[in-house]
Amino acid sequence: MPINGPTIGHIIDGMFVPTDSAAPWNVSVSPADLKDWANVVLCDDVNKDMIDELCKVYGRADALKIYCVSTLRVCDPGIKDHELKSAYDASFLSEIYPGVALSRNTVCNFLDYLGKTCSSVVSFMRNRTAAVGMDHHLLIDGTLKSNESKVNSLSDFSRKVRSKRTRDISVLYAFDLESMEPVCSKCFPGNMPDLTSYEAFISENHITKGVIVADKGFPASAAGEYFRNHPDLHYLNPIKRNAGVIGDLRLLDFTDTLDGYDGVTYTKKEHAGHGKWLYSFRDAHRAAKEEQDWLRSAKSKGNHDLVEPRDKQRVFGTVVLECDLDLPAGIVYKTYGNRWEIEIVMRYYKSALEFDETRVHDDYSVIGSEFCDFLSTVLTFRLIRRFDKVKILEKYTYKKIMSVLARAKKVRLDGDNWNLIKINPSHEEMLKDLGILPKPDELPKQKRGRPRKTDV
């Protein structure tokens, strides 16, 4: 008795033609044979230990999803969530970590759930801050990101509303100067001053040891009780130039020159009864530049009164720092001078990674997406350390290096064998310098064969 089954093909012009489902090779569902390779492999090489960090808080499937999203955001800056699946399939991430679900709906729902379980995000951050050493310096700063959503509590008009005309969220970062990578981050409403969010940031992330180096927006007084309750946590930050204590302690009467720094004078005073020391510095070169800029600005405004600049001359080029530690002035000046590293973090965060605006709406999705952005920032600085190690940044910019890495792809032509496509010789040398390709002296040596016979 005949049995009716599915149609597997048709007879056309006397020949059997199989349907797509029965064809030996269906192009529309076939895996890619040409994939991004060098950028993904390098990112995984410098950052794969992050999976273990994530697995302390999340299940492995979720950890891999978070890891792949953050990696793709570094390899393809500005990538949208609905493009992640295509980018994953077209990169070697799908070969290294196969089966990670990154479809549009999956990612959208996942970021939402990631934000809902914000206690896990905090646990992850606390694990990182717990590894900070007693002698480490944490640079803290924040940045504003455009967020025009009307359905979340983080979006609001910030202090820059007159110039930006957009709603923002505020993102605070802590950067470890010794390990040279971000340690933790947190989102706040865009209209919340740094002064207000400071204590909440360090307490929620359990920053309990080290030295916090911040700017004037993060005065120690804003978290005074927290510092008193954690004696292993210290601070070093500038005070305003018009602070009364500067005149009371005569901090602009400089007494010594600072060894190792041309044109820098300083004075150091203990603020009795307050448990802190004040360090005042004046850079003669910066003072001349500030005065020149002020005079140029005054002239452009038609102000020819020189009484005010004479009053300002004493503070041009000066910075007064307060610290709860009695330290040599040279160490204090050098430590604060390194604070520009956090500015680089914010610059890479917004320009190189294109994280200048959020592309999600509700609170949960913002928190989840920002967590992935934080991991992308950590990965970026690990890449920078690798680039610095081989001195590539002396010849190329970060974006140029990532562009070269994106061109180094692998193709599969015969079975499961992947081969690097032909690339520019200089680019190939870069891959060797970065350790992605072996150098000639690292190639396995051929075994020595039997000696040739000689005729006697």
> Domains of the chain: which residue ranges?
233-337
Given pLDDT bands bounded at 50, 70 and 90, which one contains residue 137? very high
Position 340 scores a pLDDT of 74
At residue 456, the pLDDT reads: 46
Assign 186 to helix, strand or coil.
strand
Contact 220, 235 (CB under 8 A): yes
Q: pLDDT tens, 246-302?
A: 999 999 999 999 998 999 999 999 998 888 999 999 999 999 998 888 888 777 766
Report the C-alpha dihedral over residues 100, 103, 106, 110, rounded to 10 degrees: 70
Give pLDDT tens digits for 55-70. Answer: 999 999 999 999 999 9
Q: What percent of the chain has pLDDT over 70?
A: 80
Please tell me the distance from the alpha carbon of residue 30 to that of residue 36, in angstroms, as a whole number: 17
Q: Which residues face 223 on adjacent strands?
A: none
Closest listed residue to residue 68, CA positions, set 116, 32, 36, 34: 36
Residues 12-17, mean pLDDT to the nearest whole number: 72
Residue 355's pLDDT band (cuts 50, 70, 90): low
pLDDT averaged over the chain? 84
- CA 159-164-169 angle, 5° bins: 60
pLDDT band, very low/low/confident/very high, at 125 (cuts 50, 70, 90): very high
Percent with pLDDT over 90 in the chain: 51
3-state helix, strand, coil in the chain (%, to 5): 45, 20, 35
For 373-399, write each residue's pLDDT tens digit.
Answer: 999 999 999 999 999 999 998 899 888
CA–CA separation, 303 vs 318, rounded Å? 24
The pLDDT of residue 4 is 65
Distance CA 309, CA 287 (A): 12
pLDDT in tens, 159-215: 555 455 567 778 898 999 898 899 999 988 866 777 888 999 999 999 999 999 998
What are 409-446's pLDDT values in tens digits?
999 887 778 999 998 999 999 999 999 998 776 555 55
Beta partners for 267? 280
pLDDT tens digits, 68-81: 999 999 999 889 98
**Is the separation of the CB atoms in 189 and 156 below 8 Å?**
yes
Q: 123: how many CB neighbours lie within 10 A of its CB? A: 14
With tokens 């923002």, the residue in question is 168
C-alpha distances (whole Å) from 201 to each of 16, 174, 185, 204, 221 are 70, 9, 8, 6, 14
> pTM, whole model, 2 decimals?
0.82
Give the contacts of 382 (CB within 8 A, at least 6 positions apart): 46, 47, 181
User: Residue 48: pLDDT band by 50, 70, 90 thresholds?
Assistant: very high
Q: Cβ(98)–Cβ(35) under 8 Å?
A: no
